[in-house]
């Protein structure tokens, strides 16, 4: 097929080169946005009198038909037409004849691809925000049920202090709220139309850039034609937002895997979200959680890839930048699939409250509280720390816990300890007394859940 840019060439493109540089196999995914962008451009060309109104109308009708045909699966894209932009143009010329050749007036594929990617990303961000919203709601519903479910909190994966399961879940809630905000922020920055930047230096045609931007729902236009075609910071910013979300999901997955182990048994993942072993009949594996954790790696990889592609590029467009797409699409797909499966996996898991409680009673999670008790009785904290340290060592040698020592045994370490100690170091007291904003006391977590519901509502209002 004759190339749309074939005028100055006397030889055909080598077959290997055609294969190598063609992007249609993956950028065909942009067809919808490419056509929307072309429709807005064609309308503006007509309105501004750059092409006859009648031609503009014909082009728009042709593009609308092509869109329908693609959606009906009737279109075979052509590898030799390189990319989605030229494929659509070829289809248009085939459909409406020479008038179709006027579509590309005052435009370059360089500003076209930047436009398409921004439009695509804006729509995908909205979908991802919806999926995050579902996850946030799932977390709130689950937290509401577990305000009083005591579990051990960990540092260094060693039992540290008692908290509640609701408190633990709400920690993730806060992370995913920030992730949602980060995406909104990324979207705000990318929502400017680069069309009119041309290949790099704008165009001599009096394009109405604002009209195109408005028709496509942008907040405005990019302010420098070189910048409009040369940066991919929106791809990088989105991929880094996605990496952070995957990192949060991955940490959560690690905990689900730990909690569902035979050794811990805090939760049972639903059969529908686990898989078996082909050889060991007894196995039920947390594969979904492991896969989300594993897929985090490829999203980080995509981020490193695009950062590296961009780092040495002179202004303005370079073909290297075509390498932004596969990683971006893979990031979008991976993130969406991970979020989609994550919320129902959480919502369907069984929480073993008794095991959480038993674990929080072992491991001396109330040791700090015993030290605080002694401080309230007048002992300086550092001395109290020492006394409780010795008590813990004593318990370890007797294979018992602080609560199970007799009053005489306790008083052997400090005469300040009285009968009221047992009440003071029960795990329930330990949790309830941490009644400080942001703390695990049920009263505080309830407030956090209420605030969380309001936050989600405000997201919905923003759209």
Distance CA 146, CA 346 (A): 13
Q: How far is the CB of 214 from ligand ARG (least distance, A)?
A: 24
Q: Is 386 exposed, middle or buried (0-12, 13-18, 19+ CB in 10 A)?
A: middle
278 to 307: interface string for ligand ARG, x by CB under 6 A: ------------------------------
Residue 232 sits in the site that holds ligand ARG (CB under 6 A): no
Q: What part of residues 259-278 is at the interface with ligand ARG (CB under 6 A)?
A: none
Residue 225 sits in the site that holds ligand ARG (CB under 6 A): no
Applying CB under 6 A, among 170, 321, 374, 425 the residue interacting with ligand ARG is 321
426 given a catalytic annotation: no
| Run of H or E residues at 193 | strand 192-193
Residue 110 sits in the site that holds ligand ARG (CB under 6 A): yes
Nearest one of 164, 171, 160 to 150, comparing CA atoms: 164
Residue 322 sits in the site that holds ligand ARG (CB under 6 A): yes
Identity of the residue, 23 or 197, whose beta carbon is nearer to ligand ARG in the bound complex = 23
Distance CA 121, CA 161 (A): 43
- Taking the chain, what is the end-to-end CA distance rounded to the nearest angstrom? 46
Distance CA 28, CA 177 (A): 33
Nearest one of 342, 304, 305 to 320, comparing CA atoms: 305
Residue 8 sits in the site that holds ligand ARG (CB under 6 A): no
Identity of the residue, 23 or 56, whose beta carbon is nearer to ligand ARG in the bound complex = 23
Applying CB under 6 A, among 83, 111, 124, 237 the residue interacting with ligand ARG is 83
Identity of the residue, 81 or 359, whose beta carbon is nearer to ligand ARG in the bound complex = 81
Tokens standing for 16? Answer: 């290997």
Q: Which of 41, 108, 156, 343 is catalytic?
A: 156
Query: Which residues are 268's β-sheet partners?
Result: 350
Residue 319 sits in the site that holds ligand ARG (CB under 6 A): yes
Cβ neighbours for 347, distance < 8 A, ≥ 6 positions apart? 138, 141, 142
Q: How far is the CB of 239 from ligand ARG (least distance, A)?
A: 16
277 given a catalytic annotation: yes
Residue 23 sits in the site that holds ligand ARG (CB under 6 A): yes
**Spatial contact of 100 and 140, defined as CB atoms under 8 Å apart:** no
Identity of the residue, 109 or 167, whose beta carbon is nearer to ligand ARG in the bound complex = 109
Residue 109 sits in the site that holds ligand ARG (CB under 6 A): yes
Q: Which of 21, 25, 261, 277 is catalytic?
A: 277
Q: What part of residues 111-140 is at the interface with ligand ARG (CB under 6 A)?
A: 113
- Helices 324-348 and 233-259 pack at an angle, to 10 degrees, of 30
Nearest one of 245, 399, 422 to 336, comparing CA atoms: 245
Nearest one of 192, 226, 218, 221 to 207, comparing CA atoms: 221
Give the single-character DSSP code of 108. Answer: -
Q: Among all chains, which residue has been given the structure tokens 């990319």?
A: 83
Residue 90 sits in the site that holds ligand ARG (CB under 6 A): no
Contact region for ligand ARG (CB under 6 A) — 109-117, 118-126, 138-146, 242-250? 109-117
Identity of the residue, 254 or 326, whose beta carbon is nearer to ligand ARG in the bound complex = 326
Q: Report the catalytic residues.
A: 156, 277
Binding-site ranges for ligand ARG (CB under 6 A): 23, 27, 83, 109-110, 113, 317, 319, 321-322
């Amino acid at each position: 097929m004759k190339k749309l840019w074939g005028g100055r060439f006397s030889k055909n493109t080598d077959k290997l080169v055609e294969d190598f540089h063609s992007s249609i196999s993956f950028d065909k995914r942009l067809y919808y946005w490419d056509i929307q962008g072309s429709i807005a451009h064609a309308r503006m060309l007509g309105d501004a009198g750059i092409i006859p109104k009648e031609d503009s109308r014909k082009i728009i009708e042709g593009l609308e038909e092509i869109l329908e045909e693609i959606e009906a699966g009737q279109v075979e894209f052509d590898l030799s037409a390189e990319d989605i932009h030229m494929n659509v143009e070829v289809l248009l010329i085939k459909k409406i004849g020479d008038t179709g050749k006027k579509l590309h007036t005052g435009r370059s594929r360089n500003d076209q691809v930047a436009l398409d990617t921004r439009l695509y990303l804006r729509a995908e961000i909205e979908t991802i925000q919806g999926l995050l919203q579902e996850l946030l709601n799932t977390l709130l519903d689950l937290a509401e049920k577990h305000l009083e479910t005591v579990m051990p909190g960990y540092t260094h994966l060693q039992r540290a202090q008692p908290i509640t399961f609701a408190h633990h879940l709400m920690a993730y809630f806060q992370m995913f709220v920030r992730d949602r905000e980060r995406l909104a922020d990324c979207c705000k920055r990318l929502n400017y139309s680069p069309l009119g930047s041309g290949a790099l230096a704008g165009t001599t045609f009096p394009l109405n850039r604002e009209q195109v931007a408005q028709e496509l729902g942008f907040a405005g236009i990019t302010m420098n034609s070189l910048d409009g075609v040369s940066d991919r910071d929106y791809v990088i910013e989105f991929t880094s937002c996605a990496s952070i979300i995957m990192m949060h999901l991955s940490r959560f997955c690690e905990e689900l895997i730990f909690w569902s182990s035979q050794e811990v048994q805090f939760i049972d993942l639903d059969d529908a979200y686990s898989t078996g072993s082909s050889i060991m009949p007894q196995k039920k594996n947390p594969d979904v959680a492991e896969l989300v954790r594993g897929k985090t790696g490829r999203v980080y990889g995509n981020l490193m890839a695009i950062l590296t592609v961009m780092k040495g590029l002179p202004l303005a467009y370079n073909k290297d930048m075509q390498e932004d797409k596969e990683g971006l699409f893979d990031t979008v797909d991976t993130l969406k699939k991970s979020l989609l499966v994550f919320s129902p996996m959480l919502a369907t898991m069984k929480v073993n409250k008794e095991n959480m409680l038993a674990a929080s009673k072992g491991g001396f999670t109330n040791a700090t509280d015993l030290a605080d008790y002694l401080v309230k009785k007048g002992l300086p904290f550092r001395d109290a720390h020492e006394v409780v340290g010795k008590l813990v060592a004593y318990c370890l040698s007797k294979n018992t816990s602080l609560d199970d020592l007799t009053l005489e045994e306790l008083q052997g370490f400090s005469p300040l300890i009285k009968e009221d100690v047992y009440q003071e170091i029960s795990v329930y007291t330990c949790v309830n007394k941490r009644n400080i904003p942001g703390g695990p006391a049920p009263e505080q977590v309830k407030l956090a859940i209420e605030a969380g519901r309001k936050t989600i509502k405000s997201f919905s209002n923003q759209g």
